[in-house]
Amino acid sequence: MNIIDELKWRGAINQMSDEESLHRLVAEKSVGLYCGVDPTGDSLHIGHLIPFMMLKRFQMAGHRAHIVIGGGTGSIGDPSGKKSERVLQSMEQVHHNEQKLTEQMERLFGKDNITIVNNYQWLSKIDLLSFLRDYGKLFNVNTMLGKEIIASRLEAGISFTEFTYQILQSIDFYHLFKENDVQLQIGGADQWGNITAGIDLIHKLNDSDKKAFALTIPLMLKADGTKFGKTAGGAIWLDPEKTTPYEFYQFWLNQDDRDVIKYLKYFTFLSRAEIDQLAEKVKIQPEKREAQRRLAEEVTAFVHGKEAVKQAEHISQALFSGDVRQLNAVEIEQGFKNMPTVEVENQAENIIEWLVQTNIEKSKRQAREDVTNGAISINGERIRDLEFTIDPAANFDGKFIIARRGKKKYFLARVKR
């Protein structure tokens, strides 16, 4: 299947320039294409991941993928999606972010058919007069004002610095077109104006018949109309230090039935036949959540590796069954990251006293009642003995005590060292 036809089936195309020519081009030869990201932070989140999944599909289809880490553009700030000016980061912070994003991209894309570059390499070499003479003269201000990415900011105001971002991104496309034979740029729906401005620049500076193309992906919304990728706890990051693999897995596992097939098309490399089978199971047996489980497995494996999937499933099973004794200290850190947590002294304590001291129970009377009724478990063991002694050194390398009240209410006690 032609890669353009596959992207259409996956619902991954918002706009495309000269569709007929692009469709023919990708069928005839290996095409150079790129997607860029600015180092405004030291990790991508899953919103960033969407266009890069499209880039990955081109790479897997044998095309020459290029990733631009925007060390140059990132130092001034993209006006896209912002109602006010970005706060400029120090160059030291920008370079730190560049390094972290490059490492993430290398893990996601491997080494085949991929080139990772930093636009600081060429943008930093352009002096002010050359910028104005060689490039600024080719951009009409009235045309730039008509681009949605700029027009959306006019009421609130936009600095000349962010106004010129469109020119810098256009230079990126021209540079890659000339030096790396890159003919296609892909990006989010909000990047259409910037990408087409790059095509216009290439047309003005290129003296051959070779064409340049633009392809953008749709803005992704959930079935309830809210923005994809945001949760009550904030963004879902690709960095395991910011969002643990367990949290990442759980995010995908908990997707709505109305969204899961769309996400399988966007975020996995499963075949059309496999996805159609899962869609049928959503209709017939939605309670089994097989599509969600497959989605969680595939995306977590892509971002964090297959071992992370096994670990996330192990944590999930332990928490669901209550048999937390099988968890190790690393898994506890992941699985209990957002659960109620207290610090306790490294000393043995009667269970009733301990439950009250940690505020798991409000009173000794309630603690005794819950223990007697079998509602309290310590480290995966149900306790009914009112004289039971909690020993911090007994489990989990002496680092944690896990308490459960009822079937679902977990508490984590960190033992002071």
Q: Give the CATH number, domain containing residue 263.
A: 1.10.240.10
Number of domains in the chain: 3
Q: Which of 174, 196, 217 is the last residue of a domain?
A: 217
Tokens 């860029």 sit on residue: 36
Kindly give the pairing relationship between strand 341-344 and strand 32-37: unpaired
Predicted confidence (pLDDT) per residue in 158-181, tens digit: 888 888 999 999 999 999 999 999
SS3 23: helix
pLDDT exceeds cutoff 90 at 234: no
Higher pLDDT, 157 or 43: 43
Residues 213 and 245 in one domain: no
Q: What is the domain-level CATH number for residue 396? A: 3.10.290.10
Give the pLDDT confidence score for residue 233 in this predicted structure.
63
Domain membership of residue 330 (yes or no) is no
d(CA 413, CA 346): 11
Do 328 and 318 touch, CB atoms closer than 8 A? no
Closest CA relative to residue 314, chosen from 300, 288, 349, 190: 300
Predicted confidence (pLDDT) per residue in 341-352, tens digit: 999 999 999 999
Which residues neighbour 50 within 8 Å (Cβ) at sequence distance 6 or greater? 188, 217, 220, 266
Residues 266 and 123 in one domain: no
Domain membership of residue 210 (yes or no) is yes
d(CA 360, CA 374): 15
Residues 166 and 269 in one domain: no
Predicted confidence (pLDDT) per residue in 76-121, tens digit: 877 765 666 777 888 899 999 999 999 999 999 988 889 999 999 9
Residues 201 and 239 in one domain: no
Residues 62 and 108 in one domain: yes
Domain membership of residue 335 (yes or no) is no
pLDDT exceeds cutoff 90 at 47: no
Tokens of 265: 């098309």
Residues 272 and 402 in one domain: no
Which contiguous run of DSSP H or E holds residue 364? helix 364-372
Q: Which of 217, 249, 270 is the last residue of a domain?
A: 217
Q: What angle do CA 318, 107, 301 make, to 5 degrees?
A: 30
Predicted confidence (pLDDT) per residue in 368-385, tens digit: 999 999 999 999 999 999
Catalytic residue numbers, as ranges: 40, 45, 48, 82, 86, 169, 190, 227, 230-231
Annotated binding site for ATP: which residue ranges? 230
Residues 25 and 130 in one domain: yes
d(CA 164, CA 136): 9
Q: What is the mean pLDDT of residues 187-199?
A: 92
Annotated binding site: which residue ranges? 34, 165, 169, 230
pLDDT exceeds cutoff 90 at 29: yes
Residue-averaged pLDDT of the chain? 91
Residues 209 and 266 in one domain: no
Domain membership of residue 31 (yes or no) is yes
* pLDDT class of 225 with cuts at 50, 70, 90: confident
| Size of the chain in residues | 417
Burial of 240 (0-12, 13-18, 19+ CB in 10 A): middle
Q: Which of 187, 217, 247 is the last residue of a domain?
A: 217
Q: Which residues of 274-287 are buried (b: 16+ CB within 10 A; e: fewer)?
A: ebeebeeebeeeee
Q: Is this structure's pTM higher than 0.85?
A: yes
Q: What is the DSSP string of 307-355?
A: HHHHHHHHHHHHHHHS-GGG--HHHHHHHTTTS-EEEE-SS-EEHHHHH
Residues 11 and 107 in one domain: yes
Residues 389 and 270 in one domain: no
Domain membership of residue 362 (yes or no) is yes
Residues 126 and 261 in one domain: no
Domain membership of residue 334 (yes or no) is no
Give the pLDDT confidence score for residue 24 in this predicted structure.
95
Domain membership of residue 147 (yes or no) is yes
Closest CA relative to residue 361, chosen from 394, 372, 333, 380: 372
Give the pLDDT confidence score for residue 125 in this predicted structure.
95
Give the pLDDT confidence score for residue 25 in this predicted structure.
95
User: Any idea what DSSP says for residue 157?
Assistant: -
Residues 29 and 171 in one domain: yes
Phi-psi region of 228 (alpha: psi -120 to 50; beta: other; left: phi over 0): beta
Task: Provide the residue range defining the domain that includes 311.
Answer: 230-321
pLDDT exceeds cutoff 90 at 229: no
Domain membership of residue 93 (yes or no) is yes
* pLDDT class of 66 with cuts at 50, 70, 90: very high
Q: What is the domain-level CATH number for residue 123? A: 3.40.50.620
